[in-house]
Structure 1
Amino acid sequence: MDSSNLFPVGYSDGDVDTNRSGNPTFASIVGERYSRRQTLFGGVAALTMATVSTGLLAACDDGNGNSDVTVDAGEDAQTSAGRVVVLSGTTDGDPDSAEWEQVSGPKVTLTNADSATASFIAPSVEESTPLVFRFSAADARGREVSDESTVTVTPARLGFDAVSKSLEDKVIVPAGYSVTVLYRLGDPIKGGVPAYANNGGDSGFDDRAGDHHDALFYYGLSASGDRDDANSNRGLLVMNHENITQDFLHPNGPTPAPRPESEALKEMEAHGVSVVEVTRDAAGGWSYVQGSALNRRVTPLTETELRGPAAGSDQMRTRFSPDGTRGRGTINNCANGYTPWGTNLTCEENWAFYFRRDEGDDAARTPAEATALGRYGVRAGNGGNFAWTTVQPADRSSTAYSRWNATADPEAADATGDFRNEPNQFGWVVEIDPYDPSKAPRKRTALGRLGHEGCWPGLFSDGARPAFYMGDDGRGEYIYKFVSAAAWSAGDARADDRLAIGDKYLDRGTLYVARFNADGTGDWLPLIFGRGPLTPGNASYPFRDQADVLIHARLAADALGATRMDRPEWSATNPVTGEIYFTLTNNSASGRPLNGTDAANPRHYNDPTTDGEDQRGNPNGHILRLKEANDSGEATRFAWDVYAFGAGADLDSGNVNLSALDASNDFSSPDGLWFSRATNAAGKVNPLLWIQTDDGAYTDVSNCMMLAAQPGRLGDGGPVTITNVGADGAMAAQSTIVGAAPGTNLRRFLVGPKGCEITGIDSTPDGRALFVNIQHPGDDGNGHWPATQTDSGATSRPRSATIVITKDDDGVVGL
C-alpha cells in the first residue's frame, strides 16, 4: 500500500467523491479567483479614477443555510498617488447596511464609507504599495458578510496631457480640469461697497481688489475664524497688486499733468496688497466673502513700521517720520514669501521709478548720496511714475503726493523737512499678519534694500538658524540669502503674536550675496560692515555703518564681487531635497554680450520673432538650482547647475535649446516659481515644480503660460561647452553645467489670455484647488479677459484676476 495516501498533507473530510458531477469544486473556484486577481494585480494600468466593480467571491452561509446577502468588492486595481479612487461594491439580496473599511496600507480618508460606493485620494508613496479594503454588508438579521479588494498605489506622476501653445483670449487648461474666475480688479471686499462697474468711474479702491494681481499665498481659517493651517475649505488669500493699467482705471484714460487728486488717489490705492477670505462650498465651488472682518487692503497710504538695523538711521528720516522709524505704505509688490509662524512676506520690486527727482538735484547731494541714488535708478531728471507729485490736494497739509518727490528742498535744514530720503523707505521685505488687520505691516531692514523678487524660506530645522532666499529683479543684479541670528524653535510656529516672532527671526542676522564659480560651486559672501571692502575707506562708496550697508545692499554686493545674473526673479525651495531654484528671466544683448557670459549665465544667442526681428542676448532665460553644503541654510558654500534653459523647440539644440525642449514644454522668460505644498501628494517624494512665464520674446508664438515639472536632483546632468554666436557671426565658447533634460517630466499645463503675465500660485493644503493670478490681460490692447473666458465675443474692459483651477474628479491638481 502506498503510505502517502494514509497521511495526506492537506485537509480532507473523507468524502471527496460524494458529489460526482462535473461542477467545479470550492477549492478550484478559490484557486481560479486568486489566480485571476494576481494577474490583474500585475496588469492593470494606472488610472485617473480606479473604479473596482467586477465579480469576486460571495460570502458563505450562516450555518443554517445560505445567507440572505452576498457581496462583491470588485477587482484589484492600480493607480498613482494623488488620484481619486472609487471603490464600488455590489450586493445581492436585501442588505440592511453596507460599508467600506480599510484593512491595511497607508491610512486614507474614505468618503461615503457607509455606502456601496466610497472614494479616497491615493496617498503619497515612495514605492509601489498595496492598500487593502473590505466591503461588508449585513442582512436584516444582522448577519455580516464581507469581501476584500486591493488597490496598489505607485509614486506620484504628472497626470495630464500637455496643452498646446495658444493665442486665444482665454485661459486654457488640460482636459479634465475646470477654471473659475474668483477675484477681479475692482471687486468689493467690504459690505455696502457697490459692484464694480468697470467703466472707469469706480472709486474707493481701499475697499476693492487692486490691479495687476501678483504673488499669492493661502492661509487656512478655522470655522471660528482663527488660524488653521490644515483647512482646505476656508482661508485667506494674500496677494500683491504690483502695478496698474491706467487706461482701464479711468473713463477716458489718465488726465495729463497736473493730475486730478481723484485719479491719483485711485491709482495709489489700486497698488499694494489684498487680504481676502475665500471659501469652498459643499459642491466644490469657490467664492470670496465680501464682508469678511478679515478682508483688508494694504496700500501705499497704509502706515508701516520700520524694524531692524536700518530703523532710526538718519538715512531713513523724512518729514513724515523725523526719527526714521515709521513709513507709509508698500508699492510695486511682486513676488512673496511666507513664514512658518503664519505671516506673509511681500516684496517691493521696481519701486524706484515712482520717485521724482528734478534736474540739478545731484548738486544738492553729497557724492555718496548721488552715487547711491543713481545705482538704484532714482536719477535726477525723472518725473516719477504717473506724475503723482503734480497733484494739488484738497487738504493742503497732506503730503500723500509730495512724498514721491525725492528732490532735496534747499529751504529744508535737513532730511526731516522734505522727502529726500523717501526712496530709502522702499525696496524692503514687508511682513504682514493676515489674521490681524489691526497690526501695521513691518519692513524688515535686516534683509536688505533692493528690487526684491521674493523672499522664500529654506527648510526649517529645530535648533538651526533659518535662511530666506531672494532675487534682485534687474538685469545684472544678484541673488541673496538672509540667515537669521536666532536658531529656530518649532514652538514659535504657533505663537499668538506672530509679528513679535518676526522680530525675533527677521530683525537680526546676516545678509549674503552669491558668487557662482565656473566649477559648479559657489560662495555666499557676507554683507557685514567693516569686513573686506565694506568700510568708510571704500573708494566707490564709503560705507558708514551696517545700516548703510543694508540700505545700499546693491553697492555692497558690487564691492564684494558677486556674480551679475540674468535678471533674478522668484525662488522656490524643494520641500523634500531642500534644493533652491531661481528663475533668471532674461537678459538683453547689452546686458549679456557675447564676451560677457559666464558659467551660470552662459548663453548669448538670437531668437528672432516670426517676422524676423532680432532678439539677442539671453531672451528666453533659464532656471538655476543650488544645493547648500551639508544641506544647511547656514552654509557659506553651495553647488549649482542649470535645471532648464528656456528656448523655442526650433532653436539650435546644441547651443541654445540645451534642455531638449519640444512642442509640449518649450517656454520663454520663466518668472513665477513654486513647489507644491508638502501637505499633499503633489509636494511629497518628488514634488511638482510650477513654472510661470512673463514673456515678450515668445509671445508671437504663444501667450504666457504655466508648466508643471517633476525635476530630478542637482548633478543629474553634467558639464557642457556651448558655442555662442554674435550678431556679426563671431563665436565664443562657454562652459556651463546643465541638468538632465526634463523630457516628459516637464509639461505645459496652462496658457493664459492675450497680453497677460502668469504670476502668483498656491494651493489649498489638500492640493485639490490651485489659485493662479492672471496679470494685466489685454495689455496688448486687443484682449477682454476675463469676460472672454465664457463669452468669446465679449468686449468689456480687461481685468487682472485670480482664478481657481480644480480637477473635475476632485483629485490633486497636476497628478
Structure 2
Amino acid sequence: MTQIMNADFAYCDGDIETNRSTTTPLGAMIEQRYSRRATLRSGGGAAAAALLGGTMLSACDGGDFDSSPTVVSIGSSGSTTAGRVVTLTAEAKDDGALTAAWVQTAGPPVALSGANTNAASFIAPGVSAPTVLTFQYNATDTSGQIGRDTVSVTIAPAAIGFAAVAKNKNDVVTVPAGYTVTIGGRTGDPIAAGVAAYANNGTDTNFAQRVGDQHDGLNYFGLSATGTRDDASSTRGLIVQNYENILTQYLHVGGSTSPGGVRPESEAIKEIEAHGVGVLEYVEGAGRSWAYVPASSFNRRITPNTPMTFSGPVRGTDYLVTPYSTDGTAGRGTINNCANGSTAWATYLTCEENWAGYFRRSGDNANRTAKEITALARAGVSSSTGSYGWSTVVAADSGNTLFRRWDARATTGGTATTDWRNEPNQFGWVVEIDPYVPTSTPRKRTALGRFNHEGCWPGNMVAGRKPAWYMGDDAQNEYLYKFVSATPWTANDAAATDRLAMGDKYLDTGILYVAVFNANGTGEWRPLVFGTGPLTASNATYPFASQADVLVNTRLAADALGATPMDRPEWTAVNPATGELYLTLTNNSSRTPARVDATNPRAYLDPPSTSRSNRNGHILRLREAGDTTEALTFAWDIYAFGAGSDLDPTNINLSGLTADNDFSSPDGLRFGRASNVSGQNKPFVWLQTDDGAFTDVTNNQMLLGLPGSVNDGGTRTVSNADGAGGTVTAVTRIGAAPGGNLRRFLIGPVDCEITGVDSTPDGRTLFVGVQHPGEGGTPTAPTSNWPATQASGTAPAGTRPRSALVVITKNDGGVVGL
C-alpha cells in the first residue's frame, strides 16, 4: 500500500442532522424526600453530578419510604446511546453510618463499576432498538434499615459520537475533542533488555531487537495477569504488527551509500532487519495510559532472516527447492508485510505483498524454461538490481547467503540447489504466527495461493460450516480471492493450545477461489483446482503441471478462469453481524474510459492530474448467497466512492461526500470487534487512506462509518468522458449515500499513511499504525518531525521522523468513536 519515492530507490507499491453534544440531556423530574431523622433544606440532598462524557443519572421515581431512618435521594431519569458511559448518582442522609449499593433490576445486564458507592457507572450496552435499563439504589444504616429508590435509562442504538475532524496538513495526529493520543512503539525502539535507546541519527544497529520500520497491519491479542492467552483482557495484551518497508534516508547517517553499486553489508543488514513483523507486549497503566514493555519475554522480531517452514500442497515440491532447503520444506523470512488477518484460535496472519521487486533477476532468460519466463513475468520478478540492491553485498563471510539469496538469476549450468533461481517462489504467501510462543516457527500456508497478498480476513466462523478467508491482490487490475477450508469449523478448536496445529487443520487443505463479477449485481467464485476447466497441461498460455503449479502461479490460473480485474484490491474486512465482505479498491491509474465496467465504473479527470483514471478509489461489498462462507455465488454493490466533495456529483462524487467525510484512496479497513458495542447489532467500520491525490488538501486520514447492507441503494449510470469528445458509460450498483453515517475521525502527520487498526476487546482503546511520515524528505531536511511533534506541535529542527503505533482513548472511558 505504501507509495514511496526517495532519492535512493524508486520503490512503488501497488500502482504498478445529528446531536454532536458530548453530553446527554437529563429529564427534568426532581423529587425531594425527607427522613424522620433529618429534614433537609431545598436542594441540600442533591445528587453529586459526576459526569463522564455520557449520561449522569440519579436515583428517583421510587416508591414511598417507610419509617426507616435512612435515605434522602434526588435525581432524574434520562437517555443515551450504546457505547457511552452512564453514571448513576445518589445521596443518602442519616444520623449514622450508611452502606450504599446499586443493583440492576431490569434490562440487558451491564457491569457496574463502583456499585457499592453513591456513584456507579457502566457502558451502555449494544441494542438494536431503544431499551430501558432500571437500577435500584439501596442505603442501609447501622441498624439494618434500608431506604430504596430507582432510576431508569433508555439506551438507543449506537451512533457516531464525535464532530468530524477538519482536513488539515499539520504534523501531528489530530483526533476529535475528548480523546487522547499516546505514542507507542516507534521505529528503532528497543524490544529486549540491554539494547540501547534509539539515537535516531542513522548510527543505530541491531534491528533484529528493535521495532521495525513502516508500521502497517496489526492485531491485539489479550494476555491474562499470569501471562496466558485471555481473549477478554483489555488491559494487557500483545500487539502483532507488520513492518512493511523502510525509509533509507533516515535509517542511515546520510542516507544509503552506493545505491546503484555494491551496497555495504552494515547498511544492507539493517535494511533487511527493519522489515518483517513485531510482537510487543502492551500494558495499560495509571490514568489509562498505555505503553509497551521493552524487556517483555513475549517481545519478538520476525525478519526476512527468520527461519520459516512451509505447509500445504506446495511443501516439498521442486518449486521451493533452494540451496537453503534442498527438500523444499523450509525457508527464511517474510518481507513487505502489508495487511493482515487472524484466526479464531488466536494466531496472526501476515501477508507478503510487493515481494517481487526485492529480487535481482533480469538477463537470465537463456537459462530459464519458457514456463519459468512466463511465470516470473506475471509475478513481476524482473528487476536488474532488486529494490535495495542487497544482492550486491560482498559479505565479509564468503559463505554468507543472507545477501546472495536476493540474486535470483539462474546461472549457466546451475541448478535450484546451486543458485537462488527459486528464491522468489519462497515469497508471496500468507504466513501464520503464534504470538504467544516466541520460540514457535512461523508457517507459510501455501493452500492460500501466491500473489501480492494484501490481507487475509476470515469470514464469520459458524460451527459445522467450512470457514473462509478473503484476500486481495494489491496491484492494478488484479483479483479478489477466497480460500474455503476443507474442514468444517468446530467451535472448541478456538481454545486449542497448539495453535499452529489448528492452522494445519484448517488452512492446509481446501479450495482457493477467484471472484468473477457480473454487471447485474451478481457474481461467482471460480475454483483454482488443477485438472478442471483450463487449468490443465494443455493450456496454451501456461501449461499447468499440478495443483502446486496452480498455487505457485495463482495469477496465471486466475487469468485462465476469467477473473474480473479490479482497481487494486487491498484490505478485506467482514461485518461481524451480517458476514458481508468489504473490499477497498485503492485506485487505478490504468483504468481508462475504454476499460470501465460495473464494479470499476469511473475513469475521470481529477486535477491536477491530466490523465483519466480511477484516481480516488472505492469500496466494494459482497454478500454471499445464503450468508454462508461456502457459497459459490454472491451479490455485490459499492458501499462508497472516494472523491473530493467538490467534484462532479453526477459522475465522480457518486456517494455525495461532504467536507466531513470526503476521502481518497481507501486502504486499511476493519470492523469493530464483536466483543463490544462497535461490532454488535449494526457494526461500525474503520476506513483508512493511502493517498497521493488528496494530499494538497489534507494528510492521510481515518474515518468511522456505520454502513448499511448490500443493495440498500440502487443502480447508477456513470458517464466517463473519453477526452476525444465522446463518453463511455457504465451501469453500477451503488449503496445508500453515507451522509452523517461516515465521519472523519483522525488526520495523520505530514507525508504519512494511516494503516493498521484494532482495539481492545472492550473497544475503549484503539491502536492505529502511522507509516512513513516525512517520506518526501532528506536526512538534513526531513519533511516531518513526527512523532516528536505530537506533544507540542513542534520539534527541534532536523529531528528525523519515525513510523509509530498510536494509542487512542476516550477521556470519559467510553467506546472509541461512539
- Relative to the length of structure 2, the TM-score reads 0.92
Shift in Å, 1:74: 1.9
The one-character-per-residue Cα deviations of 1:370-429 (angstroms, maximum 9, x if unpaired) are 0110111111x52101110111112211100000000012142x2111100000000000
Letter in 1 for 2:157: P
Q: Gapped runs of 5+ residues in structure 1?
A: 1-25, 30-45
Shift in Å, 1:690: 0.6
Superposition map of 1:782-797 within 5 A: 782-794=783-795, 795-797=798-800
Shift in Å, 1:312: 1.1
| 2:574/2:671 contact within 8 Å kept | yes
CA separation in 1, counterparts of 2:403 and 2:761?
A: 41
Aligned counterpart, 1:733: 729
Aligned counterpart, 2:218: 216
CA separation in 2, counterparts of 1:258 and 1:657?
A: 49
Aligned counterpart, 1:99: 101
Structure 1 residues 147 and 660: CA distance shift in structure 2, 3 A? same
CA separation in 1, counterparts of 2:793 and 2:83?
A: 34
Segments of 4+ moved more than 3 angstroms: 26-29, 53-59
CA separation in 1, counterparts of 2:624 and 2:174?
A: 37
Report the secondary structure of 1:697's partner residue: coil
Report the secondary structure of 2:619's partner residue: strand
Aligned counterpart, 2:686: 690
Shift in Å, 1:282: 4.1
Q: Which residue of the other structure, out of 712, 715, 718, is the alignment partner of 1:716? A: 712
Shift in Å, 1:364: 1.1
Q: Gapped runs of 5+ residues in structure 2?
A: 1-30, 35-50, 778-782
CA separation in 2, counterparts of 1:719 and 1:241?
A: 40
Superposition map of 1:284-363 within 5 A: 284-359=288-363, 361-363=364-366
Alignment of 1:652 onto 2:648? yes
The one-character-per-residue Cα deviations of 1:257-285 (angstroms, maximum 9, x if unpaired) are 31111111010000000000001124211
| 1:219/1:227 contact within 8 Å kept | yes
Shift in Å, 1:793: 2.5
Indicate the larger mover: 134-143 or 197-206: 134-143
Aligned counterpart, 2:619: 623
Alignment of 1:148 onto 2:153? no
Aligned counterpart, 1:13: none
CA separation in 1, counterparts of 2:574 and 2:759?
A: 16
The one-character-per-residue Cα deviations of 1:612-646 (angstroms, maximum 9, x if unpaired) are x4253000000000000111111110000000000
CA separation in 2, counterparts of 1:758 and 1:620?
A: 16
The one-character-per-residue Cα deviations of 1:245-266 (angstroms, maximum 9, x if unpaired) are 0011011100113111111101
Aligned counterpart, 2:239: 237
Aligned counterpart, 1:179: 181
CA separation in 2, counterparts of 1:614 and 1:683?
A: 41
Aligned residues with identical type, % of pairs: 58
CA separation in 2, counterparts of 1:178 and 1:727?
A: 48
Shift in Å, 1:55: 6.7
Alignment of 1:398 onto 2:397? no
CA separation in 2, counterparts of 1:780 and 1:260?
A: 24
Shift in Å, 1:143: 1.3
Letter in 2 for 1:760: G
Shift in Å, 1:561: 0.6
Letter in 2 for 1:735: V
CA separation in 2, counterparts of 1:532 and 1:433?
A: 37
Letter in 2 for 1:603: R
Structure 1 residues 47 and 626: CA distance shift in structure 2, 3 A? farther
Shift in Å, 1:579: 0.2
| 1:71/1:135 contact within 8 Å kept | no
Aligned counterpart, 1:580: 581
Shift in Å, 1:151: 0.9
Q: Which residue of the other structure, out of 51, 54, 57, is the alignment partner of 1:52? A: 57
| 1:355/1:423 contact within 8 Å kept | yes
- Relative to the length of structure 1, the TM-score reads 0.92
| 2:786/2:801 contact within 8 Å kept | yes
CA separation in 2, counterparts of 1:753 and 1:577?
A: 35
CA separation in 2, counterparts of 1:57 and 1:316?
A: 74
Alignment of 1:800 onto 2:785? no
Letter in 2 for 1:372: A
| 2:347/2:433 contact within 8 Å kept | yes
Letter in 2 for 1:188: P
Report the secondary structure of 1:230's partner residue: coil
Aligned counterpart, 1:437: 438
Superposition map of 1:445-460 within 5 A: 445-460=446-461
| 2:252/2:267 contact within 8 Å kept | yes
Report the secondary structure of 2:102's partner residue: strand
Letter in 1 for 2:171: D
CA separation in 2, counterparts of 1:729 and 1:141?
A: 92
Shift in Å, 1:142: 2.3
Alignment of 1:636 onto 2:637? no
CA separation in 2, counterparts of 1:73 and 1:110?
A: 20
| 2:81/2:158 contact within 8 Å kept | yes
Structure 1 residues 152 and 326: CA distance shift in structure 2, 3 A? same
CA separation in 2, counterparts of 1:224 and 1:61?
A: 49
Shift in Å, 1:466: 0.5
The one-character-per-residue Cα deviations of 1:490-528 (angstroms, maximum 9, x if unpaired) are 111111111011001111100000000000000101000
Shift in Å, 1:27: 14
The one-character-per-residue Cα deviations of 1:197-256 (angstroms, maximum 9, x if unpaired) are 111111111110000000000000111111100000010000000000001101110011
CA separation in 2, counterparts of 1:440 and 1:83?
A: 42
Rg comparison, structure with higher value: 1
Report the secondary structure of 1:641's partner residue: strand
Shift in Å, 1:68: 3.5
Q: Which residue of the other structure, out of 369, 374, 386, is the alignment partner of 1:371? A: 374
CA separation in 2, counterparts of 1:84 and 1:486?
A: 42
Shift in Å, 1:313: 1.2
| 1:58/1:72 contact within 8 Å kept | no
Letter in 2 for 1:387: G
Aligned counterpart, 1:77: 78
| 2:112/2:122 contact within 8 Å kept | yes
| 1:472/1:567 contact within 8 Å kept | yes
| 1:169/1:784 contact within 8 Å kept | yes
Q: Aligned Cα RMSD in Å?
A: 1.6
